[in-house]
Amino acid sequence: MRLFPRIFQAGLSLLVLLFALPVARAQKAPIQITADLSDVPRKLLHADVDLPVTPGPLALTTPKWIPGTHMPSGPVEEITGVVFTANGQTIAWRRDDVDLYQFHLTIPAGVSTLHAHLDCIVTSRISQKLAAFEWESLLLYPANTPVRDIPIQPSVKVPAGWGIGTALTPVSSGAYPVPAPGAVTQFAVTNVEQLQDSPILTGEYFHEFPLAPEISPKHYIDVVSDQPEDSNLRPVVLASLSNLVRETDALYGSHHYHVYHFLLTLSDVAGGGGLEHGQSSDNGVGEKGFADDAHELRESDLLPHEFTHSWNGKYRRPVGLYQPDFATPQQGALLWVYEGMTQYLGNVLAARAGFETQEQYRDRLATTAAILDYTPGRVWRSTEDTAVAASVVRFYTPWMNWRRGQDYYQEGQLLWLDADTLIRKLTQNQKSLNDFEKIFLGKGGNTGPLIVPYDFNELVQDLNAVAPYDWATFLHDRIDKINPHADLAGIGQGGYKLVYKDKPSATQRTMAMMPGARFGGRDCWFSIGLSVGGDGSISDVRWSGPADKANLAPGEKIIAVNGQIFSAEKLHAAIKAAKGNSEPIHLIVQADSFVSMIDIDYHAGERFPVLERVEGTPDYLDDTTKPLTTPEKAPAEEKKPEE
Ligand SMILES: [Zn+2]
């Protein structure tokens, strides 16, 4: 945060640009790093690193706090085979006693280049046929130095015949995107900050597609898959992606990259999710993740979300989340902007670009709002605390709804919907959050990759520039305070209300069919308060709900319902049958090695959230998802015969 004191807010963005240039580049020879990915199928990566050094003590480090994960997730425990040599001699090292990411060496007289070899054991984002390689697995560089001041030149070697997708600039001819067997692909000199932000996608079944060719700078999606047919994306997906590029161009009015590459793996074993970068994003979905409309619906906001991070998160970053190195802890207090606003914009852009319909957007929003409204942990923990504690609440735990998780994502989604519809209401729909984004994310105009920190006051100032209001109180009330109920005001201002019906929406039915759906297993959550799998396993129990009052616990398994062996259908039939009478739902439940009889005293029937239009009110909610550009239509797909 010391790098950009108030200069930016004073509008001197040119100074910021000048500061951003890696000044050390001209003075120091770059580190040379060659990442050898030929052993990807065995889940081993290798690197040879040549570092310019001077005689005397030297501390080298690997990255610890990884941007975008908001955690100390650098894989130091998986780094192995570390050997240092210089002038043909092995040089001894000792790990730092406190900072376990650091290696201490003494460089002998007469040595100007230190060679390091290291390997990394990698278990995620990797399969027999592909890898999404993040450089923190193999990076080694001088400790206690701002990472953007360390010049480095990367090269990469991949298995024969595999393609390469990356935002790095290739400088070796004929070695990109599909290098000749054994060839090493060299990239232009960059700095350690940018290299960590520039992953390499590689795979046997590789496709690179240009997107929205009329938009400058250039955008591509690089796709690798475990099965040969999957990486050849359907025309309808490519059309939505080109629409996404046009929609973001129209929404943000600026960009902060020289080129943008969506990197996508399609694999059932390589793991998934998304990790944002300034000029690319690392996205992983299942093998068939984009193979048909139903699978695509589940992933609809993934690519829009990660793309939006190039503006919100990468270019504009909360002061506490931007540190000059990867050793200083990142502070998450403003993650409800970094992630929360991205969650809102990613979903809005998914609908605008055609990854989902307006109705599907509303159905998914209803599920999100209902889950937050039925998160009992909100009576003790604020949304801000879920952000401050982001690095320790990231992973799933039983009783998650009582502890809370990374709720700042979805809380932020509702908050920014509230702000968007409020601006529309205050300005008779003349202005919207679109105007705020242009100001907040577009300061400085078009730039290359750059990080410009902000604080709470700047948010308030930019919101006031769009529509004068007491935005500081608006934000504090929703973020810092304990709110027993979710922020449903945006839905109301948008012309809808959250209601519960006795049948799931078409979107919920489609999502529930997808294995591992993000909000799957919630079909009994708003009724008896159970998240239960198809085999009867209870993954969570809603705190103070009917199942909690009946003493059920996460980890238990329902064996029988009303005297019959468990199935999801039998459980739903029992919830329906108990409606309006006094007979409880009878269960036989296994807990560890014991079995017991449990009665749930619940009689209000099935409950599925949906948004219902309030007639006679302005329909701002649907205005938020209208495209800003003319959407490209893909050629109609051949209908497959019904099976
Ligand atoms: Zn994100």
pLDDT at 565 > cutoff 50: yes
- The answer for residues whose C-beta is within 8 angstroms of residue 632's C-beta and 6 or more apart is 239, 242, 243, 246
CA of 499 to the centre of ligand 1 (A): 28
Distance from residue 343's CA to the centre of ligand 1 (Å) = 7
pLDDT of amino acid 26: 45
With a cut of 80, say whether residue 490 has pLDDT above it: yes
Kind and range of the H or E run holding 59: strand 56-61
311 Cα–ligand 1 center, Å = 11
Whether the per-residue pLDDT at 3 is higher than 60: the answer is: no
How many CB atoms within 10 Å of residue 625? 20
Give the residue among 431, 401, 326, 360 at the shortest CA–CA distance from 73: 326
3-state secondary structure labels for all residues of 286-303: CCCCCCCHHHHHHCCCHH
Supply the pLDDT for residue 317: 98
In this model, does residue 514 exceed pLDDT 60?
A: no
- Judged against a pLDDT cut of 60, whether residue 30 lies above it is answered with yes
> Residue 342 C-alpha to ligand 1 middle, in angstroms?
6
- In 205-293, where do the E strands start and end? 205-211, 219-225, 260-266, 273-276, 280-285
For the chain, the distance separating the N- and C-terminal CA atoms, rounded to the nearest angstrom, is 58
CB of 66 closer than 8 Å to CB of 282: no
High-pLDDT (> 70) share of the chain, %: 93
CA 143, chain centre distance (Å):
28
Q: Please compute the mean of the pLDDT values over residues 85-100 and round it to a whole number.
A: 97
Q: Please tell me the distance from the alpha carbon of residue 229 to that of residue 452, in angstroms, as a whole number.
A: 41
- 55, 107 contact by CB (below 8 A): yes
Residues of 269-279 as b/e, b for ≥16 C-beta within 10 angstroms? ebebebbbbbb
11: left (phi over 0), alpha (psi -120 to 50) or beta: left
CA–centroid distance, 300 to ligand 1, in Å, is: 14
| Tokens linked to 172 | 């070796």
Three-state secondary-structure class, residue 496: strand
The DSSP output letter for 636 is P
Instruction: Give the Å distance between the CA of 69 and the centre of ligand 1.
Output: 9
pLDDT band at 638 (very low <50, low <70, confident <90, very high): low
Dist CA 549 CA 551 (whole Å) = 5
pTM: 0.93
pLDDT at 641 over 70: no
Range from 2-11, 375-384, 512-521 that averages highest in pLDDT: 375-384
pLDDT above 50: residue 2: no
Query: How remote is the CA of residue 352 from the centroid of ligand 1, in Å?
Result: 19
User: Which token pair is 122?
Assistant: 């990698």
CA gap 287, 227 in Å, rounded: 7
- pLDDT tens, position by position, 131-166: 999 999 999 999 999 999 999 999 999 999 999 999
What is the pLDDT, as a whole number, of residue 28?
80
Distance in Å, CA 607 to ligand 1 centroid = 30
Predicted confidence (pLDDT) per residue in 228-285, tens digit:
999 999 999 999 999 999 999 999 999 999 999 999 999 999 988 899 999 999 999 9
556 Cα: distance to centroid of ligand 1 (angstroms)? 32
pLDDT score, position 173? 79
- Distance of CA 204 to CAs 38, 167, 223, Å? 12, 19, 10
Query: Which of 164-168, 296-300, 304-308, 372-376 has the weakest average pLDDT?
Result: 296-300
Ligand 1 centre from 281 Cα, in Å?
A: 10
Residue 14 predicted with pLDDT over 60: no
- Label residue 7 by pLDDT band (50, 70, 90): very low
**pLDDT classification of 174: cutoffs 50, 70, 90:** confident
Give the 3-state secondary structure of residue 410: helix
Instruction: Tell me how far apart the alpha carbons of residues 481 and 500 are, in angstroms, rounded to a whole number.
Output: 27
Q: Residue 304 C-alpha to ligand 1 middle, in angstroms?
A: 10
Beta strands across the sheet bearing 200-203: 130-133, 200-203, 163-165
For 374-425, write each residue's pLDDT tens digit: 999 999 999 999 999 999 998 889 999 999 999 999 999 999 999 999 999 9
For CA atoms 228, 229, 233, 235, the dihedral sign is positive
CA 404 to ligand 1 center in whole angstroms: 18
> Of residues 426 and 510, which shows the higher confidence score?
426
When pLDDT is cut at 50, 70 and 90, the band that residue 189 belongs to is very high
| Model confidence at 640: pLDDT above 90 | no
What is the Å distance from ligand 1's center to 416 Cα? Answer: 15
Distance 197 CA to ligand 1 centre (A): 15
Ligand 1 center from residue 301 Cα (angstroms): 10
How many whole angstroms from 302 Cα to the centroid of ligand 1? 9
pLDDT above 90 covers what percent of the chain?
A: 89
Provide the pLDDT confidence category of residue 522 given band limits of 50, 70 and 90.
confident
User: φ and ψ at 83, to 5 degrees?
Assistant: -135, 130
**Cα(621)–Cα(211) distance, rounded to whole angstroms?**
29
CB 184 within 8 A of CB 158: no
Question: Tokens in use for 110?
Answer: 């007469």
Q: At what angle do helices 340-353 and 408-426 cross, to 10 degrees?
A: 70
Rounded to whole angstroms, the Cα distance separating 164 from 17 reads: 30
